[in-house]
Amino acid sequence: MTESKAPDINVITDTLLDIFATSLPVNTDVKELQKRINGLERELDELSEENEYLWDQIDEED
Residues 5-46 have pLDDT tens digits of 666 777 878 887 777 776 666 666 778 888 888 999 999 989
31 contacts: CB under 8 Å, gap ≥ 6: none
pLDDT at 54 over 80: yes
Is 56 within the bounds of a domain? yes
Please give the residue range of the domain that contains residue 40: 34-62
Position 19 in a domain: no
Residue 54 located in a structural domain: yes
Name the pTM for this structure.
Answer: 0.48
User: Residue 43 falls within a domain, yes or no?
Assistant: yes
SS3 at position 6: coil
User: Number of structural domains, the chain?
Assistant: 1
Q: What is the pLDDT of residue 23?
A: 67
Q: Give the integer Cα–Cα distance in Å for 2 and 51.
A: 58
With respect to residue 1, please indicate whether it lies within any of the assigned structural domains.
no
- Is there a domain that residue 44 lies in? yes
